[in-house]
Structure 1
Amino acid sequence: MQDLKVTSWQLFGHDRLYVNLPDGTAIGWADRGSGTITVLHPRYRDAVTDALARQVPDLPALVGEEAPAGPRSRPAPPPVPRIPPMRGMRKRGAAQEAPPVRGPAPEVDVAPDVDVTPAVDVAPVPGVAAPASEVVPAPEAVPVPDVAPAPEAVPAPEGVPASEVVPAQERPRRPAVLPALTPATDLASRRPGAQLREQLGESGTGALVRVATGALRRHKDADPRRGALAGERRVGAELKRLTRHGWRVLHSVPLPDGTEIGHLLIGPGGVFAVSTDHRPGASVRIAEGALHIDDGAPQPYELDGRPGARRARAALEAYCAFDVPVQTVLVFTGVTALEVASTPAGVRVCRERQLSVLTPLTGVFTPTQVERVYDVARNREAWPDA
């Protein structure tokens, strides 16, 4: 059954993936927390597990387990219809018609969270038309909705505009299928400043050549790219400290146009696209869209509209069944002083040692969602269209 729909639903501590028929009727679900699959109708057992394995490949443990059989409804005994007397005929010795015989209400066992109302159908008797007052219409079936009830409002984390924070469970979507991760597509092994390393010949065969020729023992290289690489390393070291508190970090995420996102920080407080600006020995001040270096003339310096956060959000949401807001963090390294008059919403400016203020941020993602975002972000195949 290729038309089954899989939707994500999180509310009141539950984290489920519902499998629905094309008309919206739920036939089963997978519970991420307990690791079980519930099938509402036994004949859909294989269809439910196949749909979860095909459309949500990040659940191999759930799909591989034996799905508990869905509860079976006991068939209701057929009701005894009331047969009205034909015209012109009257039963001798009977003062009035016998009252209709009605059986007890049928008992139906249903799975939790599913409302099933039994419908009573009265079988017609050939040649006898039942009066309108005796016809009991069967109630209409109420399909289980695809979208869960609207969740309670979640306050926006510090520094995040309320308009940018959308609860992850508010709009379930069908994520695209991401190819399986391989050593060639895993970005988790990339080091900070990978692009700069390649340009400077400090990776692959270039590094071996430099060691063989003794280039590493020469006088200090004045190439500004070396200072920029040192700044990337400092920022990478500071971000690594956050991994002890439930955060995940990737370095040098490559983009199709040849640029890269310096660092991508993923955790309970959201996703942050981190970029580095190395200004050794400088006193920096940012005010009114201008950058002031020491006593020099101000230079135009826009903090808002940086493409890293926007492109990261588009790439991650394509493969996640929830919204993934991404903020911008600009880190100045090597400076003697940093003053920031104001920053746009969703943008942070700090020095490398101030990155620790991100550690206590929470309320955006659950631990399961953090791992899902990280699994998508580390796959190089998720970024070709970013």
Structure 2
Amino acid sequence: MRGLKVLPSGRPGRGRLYVNLPDGQAVAWYDRQANRISVLADDHREAILAVLRPYLSGTVSIGPPPVPTAADLRRLALPPDADLAPNRPGETLLGDLEHGSAGTRARHRLRQDLTAQQRMGDAFDALEPDGWRILHCVPLPGLGRIDHLLIGPAGIFCVRTVPGRRQRAVVGDLLLTVGRTEPRPDPRWLRRAAARASLALTARVTPALALVDASRIDKAPTVRDIRILHSPTATSDLTGSPTTLKPPEIETLFAQARDTRTWFHTSSPAGV
């Protein structure tokens, strides 16, 4: 059949591929991780296989869709513009660089921040085969955006990424200082963002600070609530942590977190 379209859902190379009729109705999807094609319209089966063939690899199973879980139903009901899963690392910074009017110095800082977010984002995305689910650029009205939200066996982490610039970083209770630059209020912001995320997801969210290429990290002894992730060992630190969430819990939380309405319909807790 002519006119079938293959459309991605999620980040390129990681999410599902949907096969749609010209009117937009889905007739099948290809789950890359499971290597399985779920056919919704068996009368289009041959055309579906033909249009998906360039994307397939290895031994692919074909059949009707599995019985959807509650998380599946929530995800499938999402309007495309409400789904955060396709966001790339540093999505907002890319827009600022392409369309913003910042000066030369500000654009240099934006590029450094973008490179750090992209590097950490790629490292976090690589955790998905280990049962982790990752979102990037999660909006927090009134607070900006969470650079990366990690949901996995070790729990939920609200991550702020900062370029270390091969300099010493000092993490205090309220401020972060990298080299000789002006102190930044990242620790204070992280606590507020994690509290907001905990309220939105009704689950414990740990604030985490990811420092990319810092030559050394010194943390004040009173900073016990913020997880420090030092690239390039950040992901191994997470995978080596004790398990607190089971796979069904991870999928349910991910389905909730990827919906923009989860974040925009959440009021700030007292003091946040």
Q: TM-score, length-normalised on structure 2?
A: 0.61
Task: Give 2:80's match in structure 1, choosing from 183, 198, 201.
Answer: 183
- Larger Rg over CA atoms: 1
- Give 2:187's aligned residue: 303
- Give 2:91's aligned residue: 194
Distance 1:224 1:59 in 2: 39
CA 1:178 to 1:243, structure 2 compared with 1: closer, same or farther past 3 Å?
Answer: closer
Letter in 2 for 1:184: D
Letter in 1 for 2:231: E
Task: Give 1:344's match in structure 2, choosing from 215, 218, 223.
Answer: 223
Identity of aligned residues (%): 28
Equivalent pairs counted in the alignment come to 193
Distance 2:153 2:109 in 1: 36
Q: Gaps spanning 5+ residues in structure 1: where?
A: 1-56, 62-176, 208-218, 318-323
- Give 2:134's aligned residue: 249
- Give 1:370's aligned residue: 250
Task: Say which structure is richer in helix.
Answer: 2
Distance 1:248 1:178 in 2: 14
CA 1:178 to 1:242, structure 2 compared with 1: closer, same or farther past 3 Å?
Answer: closer
CA shift for structure 1 position 289 = 4.9
CA shift for structure 1 position 263 = 0.3
Are 1:267 and 2:152 matched, yes or no? Answer: yes
CA 1:239 to 1:343, structure 2 compared with 1: closer, same or farther past 3 Å?
Answer: farther
CA 1:190 to 1:277, structure 2 compared with 1: closer, same or farther past 3 Å?
Answer: same
SS in 1 for 2:82: coil
Task: Give 1:333's match in structure 2, choosing from 203, 209, 212.
Answer: 212
Task: Say which structure is richer in strand.
Answer: 2
1:126-180 Cα distance to aligned partner (Å, 9 max, x none): xxxxxxxxxxxxxxxxxxxxxxxxxxxxxxxxxxxxxxxxxxxxxxxxxxx9993
- Give 2:170's aligned residue: 285
Distance 2:196 2:77 in 1: 22
C-alpha contact 1:238 1:352 (8 A) present in aligned 2 = no
1:343-372 Cα distance to aligned partner (Å, 9 max, x none): 534311232212121113343222111100
Task: Give 1:58's match in structure 2, choosing from 60, 67, 70.
Answer: 70
Letter in 2 for 1:385: H
Letter in 1 for 2:210: V
Letter in 2 for 1:193: G
Distance 1:60 1:234 in 2: 29
CA shift for structure 1 position 282 = 1.9
Letter in 2 for 1:240: D
Distance 1:298 1:221 in 2: 14
SS in 2 for 1:196: helix
1:28-76 Cα distance to aligned partner (Å, 9 max, x none): xxxxxxxxxxxxxxxxxxxxxxxxxxxxx92789xxxxxxxxxxxxxxx
Distance 2:124 2:169 in 1: 22
CA 1:260 to 1:222, structure 2 compared with 1: closer, same or farther past 3 Å?
Answer: closer
Letter in 1 for 2:89: P
Distance 2:97 2:143 in 1: 16
1:72-97 Cα distance to aligned partner (Å, 9 max, x none): xxxxxxxxxxxxxxxxxxxxxxxxxx
Are 1:383 and 2:263 matched, yes or no? Answer: yes
CA 1:59 to 1:272, structure 2 compared with 1: closer, same or farther past 3 Å?
Answer: closer
Q: TM-score, length-normalised on structure 1?
A: 0.44
Distance 2:140 2:172 in 1: 30
C-alpha contact 1:330 1:350 (8 A) present in aligned 2 = yes
Q: Gaps spanning 5+ residues in structure 2: where?
A: 1-68, 267-272
C-alpha contact 2:71 2:255 (8 A) present in aligned 1 = no
CA shift for structure 1 position 306 = 2.2
Distance 2:70 2:194 in 1: 24
Distance 2:78 2:118 in 1: 26
C-alpha contact 1:193 1:252 (8 A) present in aligned 2 = yes
Distance 1:297 1:384 in 2: 34
C-alpha contact 2:90 2:136 (8 A) present in aligned 1 = yes
C-alpha contact 2:143 2:193 (8 A) present in aligned 1 = no
CA shift for structure 1 position 247 = 0.7
- Give 1:226's aligned residue: 111
C-alpha contact 1:248 1:374 (8 A) present in aligned 2 = yes
Letter in 2 for 1:330: L
Distance 1:300 1:260 in 2: 16
C-alpha contact 2:97 2:107 (8 A) present in aligned 1 = no
Distance 2:221 2:135 in 1: 28
How big is the alpha-carbon RMSD for the aligned residues of Structure 1 and Structure 2?
Answer: 3.2
